[in-house]
Structures are given as structure tokens and as C-alpha cells.
Amino acid sequence: MITLNHFLTLGAILFCIGLFGALSKRNIIAIMMFLELMTNAVNLSLISFSKYITPITIRGQIFAIFVMVVTAAEIGLGLAIVLCIYRSRETTQIDEVNLLKW
Amino acid sequence: MGYLSFLPEMVILAFACIILILDLFSSKKNYFFSLALIALVLALVTIFLPFSSNSNSLITQMFFRDSMAKFFRVTFIVAASLIILISNDWARKSNFRSEYYSFILFATLGIMLMASAGELVSMYISLELTSLSFYALVAFSKGDLKSSEAGLKYLILGVISSDVLLFGLALIYGLTGATRFSEIASILPRTFSEPAFLLSLIFLVAGFGFKIALVPFHMWVPDAYEGAPTPVAAFMSVGSKAAAFAITIRIFLGALAVAQNFWSILLPLLAVLSMTLGNLVALVQTNIKRMLAYSSIAQAGYVLMGIAALSAFGISGTLYYLLAYTFTNICAFAAVTVFASQTGSEEIKDFAGLSQRSPTLALALTISLLSLAGMPLFAGFVAKFYIFASVALQKLYWLVAVALINTAISLYYYLMVVKQIYIVPPVSKEPILISLPSRVALQLTVFGILLLGIYPGPFIKTIGAITKNLFIT
């Protein structure tokens, strides 16, 4: 029997993997993918809360749909900035983008 | 008919879209500046129209229409108008003028909705609307690598912090099954001793700490401010910070008020860290935008003290400080914008002899820096006094002592700039010309600083009436 706890544990693990990847990867595109993973982990928690705790009002599912839209916009904007950097720098490695310090 | 009370937001949204669409059809680009100003003036007028907001439609349940929301919306519209005035010099050189002005309007819309959000989903959406507009605005100078880099850093860290915040919100939703602040406040007492609630509290503090730029979560601030176009940095430092403070007040004192014992330990700690680290690192900065960025981190610490006081008096102090800070910081950034657009430099040492090159600009920058330092006669003094008094009333004397020491430290680096302006002889004698919109913005902000510093009575009275009903303990 799969309970709410299973979903929440999966969500928490995915969130941690996403956070670790976003902080440790060098490639900007990979960082963006891990950011997506973090958001989707939260979405999973939201939807399972919605299913188990408020099955009638489904607020969590509506919340998750809004979160998806916002994330799509964020990643789109992020890729636009990456393109902008790539055109002048020919790199997608985050540690080679280092003009601003302290 | 509750949606009519959203007329100011609708006006701003409509004009932001109109500006984007008009850009497709017209070859002349010089009227977007006036269109954006017209939008804000119209929005300011419609805020004061007496529409009732008592109806029970869906949208009025998602957003507060109380007097605190009104206070913040008026402040933000005034701030956005000043930002548009100082943007003109910079935006004239850009090929993407309409996008710039519509992003400013979208950001204004976002912070206005943030300050009035009364529910988790609407809060998250308006917060993201603000953040997205600012990510784009920070990276706006397309050929400038610094700007793109700042935008990228801000975006990656911003998305991580949004996700952390979102996880906190999801846990609160899971614990209470509610998304509206008032429902959460009534259901939470049953569940707030669970470990999951502590986790969500930490996530919320981290998420909001990032938006406010408190110390352990401040690393993006100097980079984003230095890389961003100067008017955008000004808008970020006043707009998104004040809006995040508004949400923090609403969530922590509204929705999570029962759990006060858990989160009230964190606030003085974060305030002390922000003040101390912000001021100490600001001492060694050579770029004025970076210096102002660290000073804005320190200022966030002072404002947080007002919330940490946990009293209606403290919240009034917070609101007054945010109002004073809006005028003061925009004035400082306006002077830097004018200076940088003429000389192309943002280094503090290049401000040498500014008083001989442009006495007006020198005076305005000096007034704003002295106000940031909290000197008497200026808005910053009354604001600091207000907040320190509210903290002292709660018997948190050690916090006041730390804040006073910090004020002394901050005086040093503000006065170093003033010394450059008035005492060090100039390298070149070339006068600096101030364009008409920037001149108007400088005059208005200096007037605001002096008004709030010399005649604070009516403002304190208004703010006192706003916070009187807010605080229930």
C-alpha cells in the first residue's frame, strides 16, 4: 500500500538531489535541469498532499499547475540569458563566467 | 463588483501590454517613457477612487484590500514613477526601450500584488512575476557581459530560493489543508508542534531572507546590483525588498502568528548578522553600486529589527523606515545614474570634486547618503529612531546597542563618499549636466527626504492607524 509518506519521501529525496546538482554542476544547462527537478519534487509533494489531505478541494493540484507555468517561464528566461552569454563568451561553464567578485 | 478595486493593477497591466504591442507598429520610440508615466499616474489616481472591496468574489478573497495594502501600493507606484524618471537617460541609448518600460511596469504590478497577497498561490504567483521581471531587467544590457552574468547568477540563485520557499509553502499547505492566510491561522494551532512545521518555517525564513537580502542569503545582491542597469538596481533595492517585507509581515504576523515562539528567535539574529556583515563589507568597497548594495543589506537588518520587536509600534517603524528608505535610496541611485551616464564610471574615487562639477548633484547625493546614515534633519534619522525606540520598548537593549554601533560604522563609509565629493580636488573640471527628468526625480526625492525628516507627524499618524488593527496578540 503506497501512502502519503512514500510520496513525501520521494519528493524530499528528489528535492535534495536537485539542490545538490544545482549547487555542484559546472554546466549551466545541467544546472537548469536540476532546478527543474527541484520544482517537480515540490509539485509531487503538492499533488500528493492534495490527493490525501484535501481530496475534494484539490487546491494543491491547482497550485502545482501554476508552479509548472512559472517554472517554464523561468527556465525559458534562463536559457535566453545563457544564449546571450554563449554568443559573447563561447562557453556554458558557470565557473568561466566570473567577472563579478566580492 | 469587487474586481473594481483592482483598477490600478489593471491599468498598469493594460499599459504594460499596450507598450509592448505599440512597439511592433511604430518606428518612433520616444513616447514609451511618457506612456509608462501616464500609466503610473492613472494608477495612482484610481487607487484613491472609493470602490468597495467587500464583495465575496474569488479575487477579493485572494488579495487583501486593507489600508496596509494601500500604503504599499501607493509607495510602489511613487517609487516606480521616480525610477522611470531616472531611467530616461539610460533607456534613450537602448534599442529595446518598450521592453524596458513594460518590464518596469510588470515588476511594479508584481510588487503591488505581493504587498496585498492574502493566499499562498496568489502570493507565489505575484512573487514570481516580480522576480521574473527583475531577472530580465538585470540582464537587460544585452552586449554587456557583466549584466548577463549578474542576470544569470540572480536567476539561478533566485530559482533555488523560490523552490526552497515553495517547499515550505507546500508543507504548510499539507499541515493545514488551507491556502488562505486566515484559514491557516485558524487551523495551524492544531498542528504546529509537528517537526514538519519547523522544517517549513526554516524554508520560509530562507526563502524570504533571500528576497529581502538578509545575511546568510545575501550573496546575489552585490553582483546583481553591480551588473544591473543602475535604475534597475535602484528599483530592486526599494521595490522588491519592501514587497518581500510586506509579505513577511503578513505571513509571520498573520498566518503563522501562533508559532511566534519558534520564529521570533530567528529574527533578531538575522537582523544582527545583516547589519554587521553588510556594514563591515561595505567599508572596503570601491565601486559605489557595490557599496550601496552592501548598505542595502545592512538597511534590511535595521528594518527587520522593527518586525523582531513584535509590536504594532515596531511594525509602524518598519513601514516608516521602508517609506523613508524608498526616497533615500532612489535619490542616491539617481545621483549615481546621472554621474555614471555622463562619465561612464561607478568608482567611488571618480566622485572626487563632484561639488565643483555639479553642485546640485553633489548636494543631492550628500543628502541621501547622510539620510542613509541616519543623520538628524533627514528621513533616515526619524526612521531609525522610530525602529530603535520600538525595539527598546520591548527591552531588547542589546539589539539596540548593536544597531547603534552599526550606525556608527556605516557613517564612516557614507562620509568617505561625502569627503570625495567635497574635499578631494577633481581630476577633470568638466561640468556634469542633469537632464530634466532626472532633475525632477532628484528634486522630488530630496523633498521627500526632508519632508519625512523634518515634518514626520502626519505620516506617523497615518501609519499608526494602519498598523493599529494589524497586530493581535
Point out the residue among A35, A46, A70 whose CB comes nearest to the CB of B128. Answer: A70
In the CATH scheme, what is the code of domain A4-92?
1.10.287.3510
> Would an 8 Å CB–CB cutoff place A34 in contact with chain B?
no
Point out the residue among A54, A63, A77 whose CB comes nearest to the CB of B155. Answer: A77
CA–CA dist B103, B87 (Å, integer): 12
Residues of chain B above pLDDT 70, percent: 98
Task: Please report which confidence band the pLDDT of residue B55 belongs to, taking 50, 70 and 90 as the band edges.
Answer: low
CA–CA dist B291, B308 (Å, integer): 26
Distance of CA B7 to the CA centre of its chain: 23
User: Which residue is listed with cell 500604503?
Assistant: B71
User: Cell triple for residue B289?
Assistant: 553600486
pLDDT in tens, B75-92: 999 999 999 999 988 888
| Number of Cβ atoms within 10 Å of the Cβ of B176 | 23
Mutation choice for A interface testing from B131, B138, B147, B148 by most A CBs within 10 A: B148
Q: Which pLDDT does position A18 carry in this prediction? A: 95
Q: Which pLDDT does position B54 carry in this prediction? A: 66
Phi-psi region of B292 (alpha: psi -120 to 50; beta: other; left: phi over 0): alpha
Q: Which pLDDT does position A102 carry in this prediction? A: 58
Using the predicted structure, report yes or no on whether residue B472 has a pLDDT greater than 60: no
Q: Reduced to 3 states, what is the DSSP secondary structure of residue B274?
A: helix
Point out the residue among A57, A71, A81 whose CB comes nearest to the CB of B152. Answer: A81
What sign does the dihedral B10-B13-B17-B22 (CA atoms) show? positive
Task: Please report which confidence band the pLDDT of residue B471 belongs to, taking 50, 70 and 90 as the band edges.
Answer: low
User: Cell triple for residue B408?
Assistant: 556608527
Average pLDDT over residues B394-419: 93
Q: Could A66 and B173 be called an inter-chain contact, meaning their C-beta atoms sit closer than 8 Å?
A: no
Q: Could B145 and A70 be called an inter-chain contact, meaning their C-beta atoms sit closer than 8 Å?
A: no
Using the predicted structure, report yes or no on whether residue B62 has a pLDDT greater than 90: no
Q: Percentages helix, strand, coil for chain B, rounded to the nearest 5?
A: 80, 0, 20
Q: Which pLDDT does position B57 carry in this prediction? A: 75
How close B116 gets to chain A, by Cα (Å)?
Answer: 18
Q: Which pLDDT does position B53 carry in this prediction? A: 64
Least confident span in B114-128, B174-188, B433-447: B174-188
Mutation choice for B interface testing from A51, A70, A71, A79 by most B CBs within 10 A: A70
The number of helices, as runs of H, and strands, as runs of E, in chain A is 3, 0
3-state secondary structure string across B205-270: HHHHHHHHCCHHHCCHHHHHHHHCCHHHHHHHHHHHHHHHHHHHHHHHHHHCHHHHHHHCCHHHHH
B93 vs B404, residue with greater confidence: B404
Cross-strand bridge partners of residue B347:
B287
Q: Which pLDDT does position B1 carry in this prediction? A: 60
Q: Reduced to 3 states, what is the DSSP secondary structure of residue B347?
A: strand
pLDDT in tens, B186-242: 888 887 777 888 899 999 999 999 999 998 899 999 999 999 999 999 999 999 999
Residues of B within 8 A of A71 (CB-CB) are 159
A46 vs B263, residue with greater confidence: A46
User: Which residue is listed with cell 529574527?
Assistant: B267
Terminal-to-terminal C-alpha distance of chain A? 52
What ipTM describes this predicted complex? 0.95
Amino acid at B156: I
Using the predicted structure, report yes or no on whether residue B473 has a pLDDT greater than 50: no
> Would an 8 Å CB–CB cutoff place A14 in contact with chain B?
no
CA–CA dist B121, B169 (Å, integer): 9
- When the pLDDT of each residue in chain A is averaged and rounded to a whole number, the result is 91
Least confident span in B34-43, B93-102, B301-310: B93-102
Average pLDDT over residues A46-62: 90
- Phi and psi angles of residue B117, each rounded to the nearest 5 degrees, phi first: -60, 140
CA–CA dist B225, B153 (Å, integer): 11
CA–CA dist B410, B291 (Å, integer): 11
Q: Which pLDDT does position B49 carry in this prediction? A: 84
CA–CA dist B386, B343 (Å, integer): 38
Q: Which pLDDT does position B45 carry in this prediction? A: 93
Question: Are B242 and B322 within 8 A, CB to CB?
Answer: yes
Q: Could A67 and B166 be called an inter-chain contact, meaning their C-beta atoms sit closer than 8 Å?
A: yes
B369-404 in b/e form (b: 16+ CB < 10 A) is bbbbbbbeebbbbbbbebbbebbeebebeebbebbe
Q: Which pLDDT does position B229 carry in this prediction? A: 92
CA–CA dist B386, B272 (Å, integer): 18
Q: Which pLDDT does position A1 carry in this prediction? A: 82
> Would an 8 Å CB–CB cutoff place A36 in contact with chain B?
no
Residues of A within 8 A of B125 (CB-CB) are 66, 70
Of A17, A71, A98, the closest CA to residue B152 belongs to A98
Mutation choice for A interface testing from B103, B152, B183 by most A CBs within 10 A: B152
Amino acid at B69: A
Distance of CA B5 to the CA centre of its chain: 24
Average pLDDT over residues A71-83: 93
Average pLDDT over residues A3-32: 93
Average pLDDT over residues A10-19: 95
Residues of A within 8 A of B226 (CB-CB) are 100
Instruction: Transcribe B54-118 into DSSP letters.
Output: -S--HHHHHB--SHHHHHHHHHHHHHHHHHHHHHHHHHTT-S-HHHHHHHHHHHHHHHHHHHHB-
- When the pLDDT of each residue in chain B is averaged and rounded to a whole number, the result is 90
CA–CA dist B308, B302 (Å, integer): 10
Q: Where are the domains of chain A?
A: 4-92
User: Cell triple for residue B180?
Assistant: 488562505
